[in-house]
């Protein structure tokens, strides 16, 4: 399978062999689609996090971004013209921590997909296009169940012997202030803080495999260690899973409900304070 991170030079070389996907989304409520319209990589399609990669829901008790059903995911990509044989290169403007959700989901069911290393900033600004998404004819994307071995539930997390890594920023992990979007601050007891944005350099490019292995080792993750990744709502946790794969430590498992689910259950204990590891 293709490496989970590819360079802009790689994309230029293979541009006619792949479909590029823009997966911008903002926690502060700004519109990813408006940002796409203002400037995107030529030919990119826009993939909605909330409607293609997440399952619509009435409340957040199951998490703010519940994993889309296989049917929703397959149907959403097919409508955009992404089919079974297509390689998808996804990007955002946040170092890939949002677009990682699409890449992880596709790779989980055996599809070729990768993040554009450096994201939108890696592409020349003068070559960006504006306006509506490129029209692709509908494609056939076969519905495939999510592999059970790559996911974990809230009850499984509560009793897991795996290393539990938290992809959120360290301050949200510590919980010293009210959480900006979830009801309780802090982290799941026993979790280790591995902020996924700290895998990136100033240009938003992913660290080397050697550097990633060193960072994960600090959290107790070495070859053969079972790992569960979570974040606020199961999105940036996917970036940690792709980083694990790049480091040769994958595949790891995703807790889709993440902190948004855990913190809404009053029966779940909460820990606060910096990572003591």
Q: What pLDDT does 218 receive?
A: 97
Alpha helices in 39-116 (DSSP H): 70-79, 100-108
Q: What pLDDT does 133 receive?
A: 73
What letter would DSSP give residue 15? G
Q: What pLDDT does 119 receive?
A: 98
Domain 5-127 shares a fold with domain 148-262: yes
What letter would DSSP give residue 133? P
User: CATH assignment of 148-262, given 3.10.20.90, 3.40.250.10, 3.10.20.30, 3.40.50.300?
Assistant: 3.40.250.10
pTM passes above 0.85? yes
Contacts of 175 (CB under 8 A, 6+ apart): 184, 185, 186, 187, 270, 271, 272, 273
Positions of the chain with pLDDT under 70 = none
Helix (H, G, I), strand (E, B) or coil at 167: coil
130 torsion bin: left (phi>0), alpha (psi -120 to 50), beta (else) = beta
Cα torsion 80, 69, 249, 83: sign = negative
Q: What pLDDT does 105 receive?
A: 98
**Residue 225 in contact with residue 163, Cβ under 8 Å?**
yes
Please tell me the distance from the alpha carbon of residue 92 to that of residue 204, in angstroms, as a whole number.
10
Q: What is the CATH number of domain 5-127?
A: 3.40.250.10
List the chain domain ranges: 5-127, 148-262
Q: How big is the chain, counted in residues? A: 277
Q: What pLDDT does 276 receive?
A: 77
Please identify every residue annotated as catalytic: 231
């Amino acid at each position: 399978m293709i490496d989970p991170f590819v360079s802009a030079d790689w994309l230029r070389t293979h541009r006619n062999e792949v479909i590029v996907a823009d997966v911008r989304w903002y926690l502060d409520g700004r519109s990813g689609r408006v940002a796409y319209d203002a400037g995107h990589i030529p030919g990119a399609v826009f993939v909605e996090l909330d409607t293609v990669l997440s399952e619509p829901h009435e409340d957040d008790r199951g998490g703010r971004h519940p994993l889309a059903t296989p049917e929703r995911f397959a149907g959403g990509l097919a409508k955009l013209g992404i089919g079974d044989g297509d390689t998808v290169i996804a990007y955002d403007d946040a170092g890939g921590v949002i677009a990682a959700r699409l890449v992880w989901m596709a790779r989980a069911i055996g599809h070729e997909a990768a993040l554009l290393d450096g994201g939108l900033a890696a592409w020349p600004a003068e070559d960006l296009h504006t306006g509506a998404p490129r029209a692709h004819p509908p494609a056939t994307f076969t519905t495939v169940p999510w592999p059970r071995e790559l996911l974990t539930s809230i009850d499984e997390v509560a009793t897991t012997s795996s290393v539990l890594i938290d992809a959120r920023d360290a301050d949200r992990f510590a919980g010293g202030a009210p959480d900006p979007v979830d009801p309780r601050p802090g982290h799941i007891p026993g979790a280790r803080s591995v902020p996924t944005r700290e895998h990136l350099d100033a240009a938003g490019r992913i660290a080397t495999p050697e550097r990633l292995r060193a960072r994960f080792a600090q959290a107790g993750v070495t070859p053969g260690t079972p790992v569960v990744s979570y974040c606020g709502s199961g999105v940036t946790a996917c970036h940690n899973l792709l980083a694990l794969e790049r480091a040769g430590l994958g595949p790891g498992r995703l807790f889709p409900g993440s902190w948004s689910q855990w913190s809404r259950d009053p029966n779940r204990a909460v820990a606060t304070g910096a990572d003591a590891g």
